[in-house]
């Protein structure tokens, strides 16, 4: 077993073991075939809070529809949000467009290579800036995501909370001490893949397949499942909602959500807070100037966000008359499917049309 402190004495051996493994085992991902700054940027933003296998088809479609920074700066917001529909965390998409405009106006249409300039762009934090700078531009800077935090916490037996900024800085400093002056992007991606494929977050990591296990103190001590320390999960707040699918002359009522807060600027079906009965819904609709002709139950649905849960019951309402100033947009089913960006939270109700 190699003496681990300081590991930096064996940095070259560590780098070689890791990167040789990566050359053989790296995941085949579409943004790696052509790691241009634009493609690296888009992929890294999509990968925030989202699994790789989910991102791949979204990335391919996004690049096909919006192939350049100039296109992104000019894309209609409705189209952007529709392309993003299903990925969640929609502010990521809105920040992409904001950042593209900044790039066009202040960086002559070119994504900057310097980490400080990248951090100036909306939606880009330290990890994303490091990933773009190292992978797309070959800069010798760290890119420390959740996978890297877990790998390095196990290697050094860091028992701190890896969501804590102080612990993150400790681990980032350790990564910097191991970072090669050349091929830093390969090194960073190798650590990411190692965390995603071998040094797993839940259950037993695949230590027997790990190329750097001889450097890992948690493996040596048999405590890989104890690190990183697990913090208590916060209990999600539950909100009850009643969703209404209002059908009038073959079109369905939708309305735009507010520009700030949860699911900003997306479209939704009319709803009421709480779980309402048919009679309560009919009364509320009459008050709004909507005359229901027929109302039937829809299958209930639940949607989980990071901090809350929506527990939703729904009604399909055939409408016979609507007040002129009701304020809804009336869309066909085809328009809802292909034009308007409806959050995943409501997809169970769309399937029941």
Name the residue among 298, 307, 310 with its Cα closest to residue 344: 310
Of these residues, 3, 13, 25, 44, which one is catalytic? 44
Residue 57 phi, psi dihedral angles, 5° rounding:
-65, -35
Secondary structure (3-state) at 296: strand
How far apart are the C-alpha atoms of 172 and 153, rounded to whole Å? 10
User: Has 44 been annotated as catalytic?
Assistant: yes
Integer Cα distance of 138 and 47 in angstroms: 20
Angstrom distance (rounded) from CA 298 to CA 349: 7
**Is the sign of the CA dihedral 284, 290, 294, 300 positive or negative?**
negative
To the nearest 10 degrees (0 to 180), the angle between helices 146-156 and 184-197 is: 80
Torsion angle of alpha carbons 171, 187, 25, 212, nearest 10°? -50
Cα distance from N-terminal residue to C-terminal residue, the chain? 63
User: How far is 185 from 44, CA to CA, in rounded Å?
Assistant: 13
Q: Is 330 helix (H, G, I), strand (E, B) or coil?
A: strand
Which active-site residues does the annotation give? 44
């Amino acid at each position: 077993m190699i003496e681990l402190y300081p590991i930096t004495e064996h940095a070259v051996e560590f780098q070689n073991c890791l990167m040789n493994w990566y050359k053989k085992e790296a995941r085949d991902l579409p943004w790696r075939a052509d790691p241009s700054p634009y493609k690296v940027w888009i992929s890294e933003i999509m990968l925030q809070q989202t699994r790789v296998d989910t991102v791949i088809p979204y990335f391919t479609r996004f690049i096909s529809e919006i192939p350049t920074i100039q296109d992104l700066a000019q894309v209609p917001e409705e189209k952007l949000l529709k392309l993003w529909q299903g990925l969640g965390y929609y502010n990521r998409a809105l920040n992409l467009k904001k950042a593209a405009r900044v790039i066009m106006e202040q960086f002559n249409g070119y994504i900057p290579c310097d980490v400080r300039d990248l951090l100036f762009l909306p939606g880009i934090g330290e990890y994303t800036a490091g990933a773009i700078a190292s992978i797309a531009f070959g800069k010798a800077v760290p890119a420390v995501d959740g996978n890297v935090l877990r790998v390095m916490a196990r290697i050094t037996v860091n028992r701190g909370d890896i969501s804590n900024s102080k612990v993150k800085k400790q681990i980032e400093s350790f990564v910097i001490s191991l970072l090669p002056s050349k091929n830093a992007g390969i090194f960073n991606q190798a650590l990411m893949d190692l965390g995603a494929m071998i040094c797993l977050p839940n259950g037993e990591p695949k230590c027997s397949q790990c190329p750097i296990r001889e450097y890992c103190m948690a493996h040596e001590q048999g405590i890989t499942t104890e690190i990183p320390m697990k913090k208590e999960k916060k209990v999600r707040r539950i909100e009850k909602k009643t969703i209404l699918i209002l059908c009038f002359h073959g079109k369905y009522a939708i309305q735009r959500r507010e520009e700030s807060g949860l699911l900003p600027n997306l479209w939704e079906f009319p709803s009421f807070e709480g779980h309402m009965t048919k009679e309560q819904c009919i009364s509320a609709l009459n008050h709004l100037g909507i005359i229901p002709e027929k109302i039937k139950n829809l299958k209930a649905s639940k949607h989980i966000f990071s901090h809350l849960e929506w527990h939703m019951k729904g009604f399909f309402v055939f409408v016979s008359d609507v007040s002129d100033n009701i304020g809804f947009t009336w869309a066909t089913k085809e328009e809802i499917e292909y034009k308007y960006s409806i959050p995943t939270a409501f997809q169970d109700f769309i399937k029941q049309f």
